């Protein structure tokens, strides 16, 4: 069985391209078997959607409700929803050194709950290979040794972030102390002696008191005449120091380069090893150098990124080093205008090319059972380049908006070609499923939900005269009845659940849920007089299972063209309730689920009338004659709805 995940493939564009003959392999699948629009998750966020796919159940079962959760009883304790690092035992202190206790090291914990579908295949001895599956970091263990998996979305970089680039220049607008913005660092190139040096910031040194960040000097030798520069650095290695260098032309990306951050040699010989890519933007009149987020080196990863642990290195031994960061595309650098549109396009296409090479590896090593492969390009290039219709683009001229939107269609064509190669390699007898977790939509106007809650009197300040930037400060929780966290969620401040809850469960809670829902449905954009919100979902109506009560009380489904602002998603305020989105991230899908369905193709007839993501795990189990467990709420897409298992 072959399952291909094309994150964010939009049905309307796929259908138009098929009609134009530009997606021959998807068209062949649709003709031979079937094609339907696929129902997505509530809300249609990737970690939620892929967790629905993995468990065959909604967030009430798997507990992933958003990218961002709050840790009760404190509504201001925010965390990334799918994984966390639990500290180990307090280390021994020897002077200024910290020596870890070997029996209690820090532990990465997967926060997605529920039973993944592959556990049932694993128990039956069915081989499973999964490449870059989202919401599976750290990879869940294979209890019967039949699963081989590399983690995808959710895998951090070496700085424990979801991707932090570093940009070095001698531009006067970059202060000597540097400038930090979510997802990136701008730093001054300094002279050390007569050599220009970029000081690459590495992870904290866990073996030294106060755990200062490690650093690695990248020495830069420019040749202005030829628009070229040599980069040189010294890695600590088990065999001693090793000097490495790479020569780049202006406008050229390096291959993946090994870097090592020195810690304490007698505790960690060779330091912490990783990989980066360099991009030389400019040599004259001043150097500008971009360094990718610091990825784990799959040949010796600092954290487990595959199951079994050695699988990542096995893949790298054949195809070379590859990106391990869940978000491999450098979209933050485009949002910050560190990379131009064309520079991002080149980088993102390189990511797609690398994923195609990994698919080739997967197909060469396929020996039966289930093969799952995930492509991110249809999502992360769409976020930055998608724009449909004649409305004003947030950052581009009409001509450029059209030019870069066309890139998405090119990406679909490349994915179609990769699919054709995969179907040919896996053979005629295999069952094939191709799916996307959601579709796409323009994002021209951003909504500041916490502003609205404040203005409507649901969020109350301690001091009305004091500065108030968001819910992380100056909130009188004894009088505040609701707050927003994440991209779609509203939480009530419930007595007995939140530490200073003031909303009584029962009739008061019910009345407040109705009141907020009704008001949101009447919220209009002052610029266009359009409705901002299409649907407000009650969590207790759309979630089922033991974790349903852990999520938001209401899920806001924005109308087409709207989405929550990034700052509001982490509890901050903006200037107005509705305002322009002025980011290169100009398209999204975190809106009403009915507006952004995904796609489902198969080489077998699709008989279920309105399939959704939760039907795919039961479909996979059904292909191996494995009974559908009771917590899975869907049924096989290859059976008519009246014959499919329902709960």
CATH of the domain at 555: 3.30.1360
Q: Work out the mean pLDDT of the chain and round it to a whole number.
A: 94
Residue 60: pLDDT over 90: yes
Model confidence over 292-330: pLDDT tens digits? 999 999 999 999 999 999 999 999 999 999 999 999 999
Listed residue (318, 283, 3) closest to 130, CA to CA: 3
Q: Which helix (H) or strand (E) holds 414?
A: helix 398-426
Residue 392 is assigned to a structural domain of this protein: yes
Q: What are the strands, taking DSSP E only, across 416-488? A: 432-435, 441-447, 482-485
Residue 234 is assigned to a structural domain of this protein: yes
CA distance 83 to 366: 29
Q: Considering the entire predicted model, what is its pTM?
A: 0.95
Beta strand 432-435 with 598-602: parallel, antiparallel or unpaired? Answer: antiparallel
pLDDT at 109: 92
Model confidence over 134-189: pLDDT tens digits? 999 999 999 999 999 999 999 999 999 999 999 999 887 777 777 888 899 999 99
Number of domains in the chain: 3
**Same domain as 249, residue 273:** yes
Give the best-scoring range by mean pLDDT among 104-118, 366-380, 632-646. Answer: 366-380
Model confidence over 342-364: pLDDT tens digits? 999 999 999 999 999 999 999 99
CA distance 503 to 492: 7
**Same domain as 503, residue 414:** no
Residue 334 is assigned to a structural domain of this protein: yes
Whose structure tokens read 């991009």? Answer: 279
Model confidence over 473-499: pLDDT tens digits? 899 999 999 999 999 999 999 999 999
| Higher-confidence position of 88 and 348 | 348
Residue 238: pLDDT over 80: no
Residues 6+ apart with CB under 8 A from 420: 24, 25
**Same domain as 505, residue 491:** yes
pLDDT at 103: 72
Model confidence over 587-610: pLDDT tens digits? 999 999 999 999 999 999 999 999
**Same domain as 450, residue 365:** no
Q: Which residue among 242, 274, 296 closes a domain?
A: 296
pLDDT at 239: 67
Residue 289: pLDDT over 90: yes
- Whether the bond between 285 and the residue before it is cis, its omega within 30 degrees of 0, is yes
Residue 29: pLDDT over 60: yes
Residue 631 is assigned to a structural domain of this protein: no
Residue 240: pLDDT over 70: yes
Q: Which domain holds residue 424?
A: 2-64+115-155+326-440+597-623
Contact 157, 137 (CB under 8 A): no
CA distance 565 to 578: 9
Residue 248 is assigned to a structural domain of this protein: yes
pLDDT at 228: 97
**Same domain as 238, residue 373:** no
In the DSSP assignment, the letter for residue 112 is: -
pLDDT at 641: 63
**Same domain as 33, residue 175:** no
**Same domain as 378, residue 432:** yes
**Same domain as 261, residue 272:** yes
């Amino acid at each position: 069985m072959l399952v291909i995940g094309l994150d964010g493939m939009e049905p309307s564009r796929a259908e138009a391209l098929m009609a134009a003959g530009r997606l021959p392999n998807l068209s062949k699948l649709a003709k031979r078997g079937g094609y339907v629009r696929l129902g997505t998750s509530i809300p249609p966020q990737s970690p939620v959607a892929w967790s629905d796919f993995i468990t065959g159940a909604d967030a009430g079962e798997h507990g992933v409700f958003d990218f961002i959760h709050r840790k009760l009883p404190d509504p201001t304790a925010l965390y990334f929803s799918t994984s966390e690092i639990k500290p180990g035992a307090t280390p021994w202190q020897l002077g200024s050194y910290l020596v870890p206790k070997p029996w209690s090291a820090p532990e990465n914990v997967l926060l997605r709950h529920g039973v993944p579908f592959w556990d049932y295949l694993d128990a039956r001895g069915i081989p499973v290979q999964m490449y870059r599956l989202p919401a599976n970091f750290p990879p869940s263990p294979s209890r019967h040794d039949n699963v081989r998996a590399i983690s995808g979305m959710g895998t951090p970089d070496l700085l424990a972030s979801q991707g932090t680039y570093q940009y070095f220049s001698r531009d006067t607008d970059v202060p000597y102390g540097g400038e930090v913005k979510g997802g990136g660092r701008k730093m001054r190139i300094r002279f050390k002696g007569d050599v220009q040096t970029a000081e690459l910031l590495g992870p904290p040194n866990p073996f030294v008191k106060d755990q200062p960040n490690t650093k690695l000097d990248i020495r830069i030798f420019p040749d202005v005449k030829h628009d070229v520069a040599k980069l040189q650095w010294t890695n600590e290695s088990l065999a001693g120091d090793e000097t490495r260098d790479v020569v780049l032309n202006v406008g050229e990306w390096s291959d993946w380069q090994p870097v090592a951050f020195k810690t304490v040699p007698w505790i960690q010989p060779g330091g912490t090893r990783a990989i980066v890519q360099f991009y030389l933007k400019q040599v004259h009149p001043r150097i500008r150098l971009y360094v990718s987020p610091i990825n784990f080196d799959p040949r010796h990863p600092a954290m487990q990124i595959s199951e079994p642990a050695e699988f990542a290195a096995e893949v790298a031994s054949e195809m070379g080093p590859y990106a391990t960061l869940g978000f491999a595309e450098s979209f933050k650098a485009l949002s910050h205008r560190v990379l131009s549109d064309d520079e991002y396009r080149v980088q993102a296409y390189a990511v797609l090319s690398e994923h195609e090479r990994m698919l080739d590896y997967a197909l060469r090593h396929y020996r039966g059972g289930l093969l799952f492969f995930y492509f991110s390009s249809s999502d992360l290039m769409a976020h930055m380049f998608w724009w449909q219709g004649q409305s004003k683009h947030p950052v581009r001229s009409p001509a450029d908006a059209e030019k870069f939107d066309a890139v998405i269609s090119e990406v679909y064509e490349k994915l179609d070609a990769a699919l054709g190669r995969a179907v040919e390699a896996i053979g005629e007898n295999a069952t094939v499923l191709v799916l996307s977790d959601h579709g796409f939509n323009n994002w021209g106007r951003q909504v500041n939900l916490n502003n609205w809650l404040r203005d409507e009197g649901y969020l109350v300040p301690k001091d009305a005269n004091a500065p108030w930037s968001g819910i992380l400060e100056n909130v009188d929780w004894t009088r505040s009845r609701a707050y927003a966290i994440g991209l779609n969620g509203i939480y009530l401040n419930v007595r007995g659940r939140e530490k200073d809850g003031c909303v009584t469960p029962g009739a008061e809670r019910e009345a407040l849920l109705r009141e907020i829902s009704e008001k949101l449905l009447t919220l209009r954009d002052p610029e266009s007089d359009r409705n901002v919100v299409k649907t407000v979902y009650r969590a207790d109506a759309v979630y089922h299972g033991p974790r349903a009560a852990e999520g938001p009380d209401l899920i806001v489904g924005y109308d087409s063209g709207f989405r929550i602002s990034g700052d509001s998603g982490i509890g901050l305020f903006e200037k107005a309730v509705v305002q322009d989105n002025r980011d290169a991230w100009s398209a999204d899908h975190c809106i009403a689920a009915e507006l952004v369905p995904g796609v489902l193709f198969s080489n077998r007839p699709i008989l279920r009338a309105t399939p959704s993501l939760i039907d795919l795990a039961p479909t996979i189990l059904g292909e191996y004659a494995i009974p559908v467990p009771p917590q899975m709420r869907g049924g096989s897409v290859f059976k008519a709805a009246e014959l499919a298992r329902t709960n």
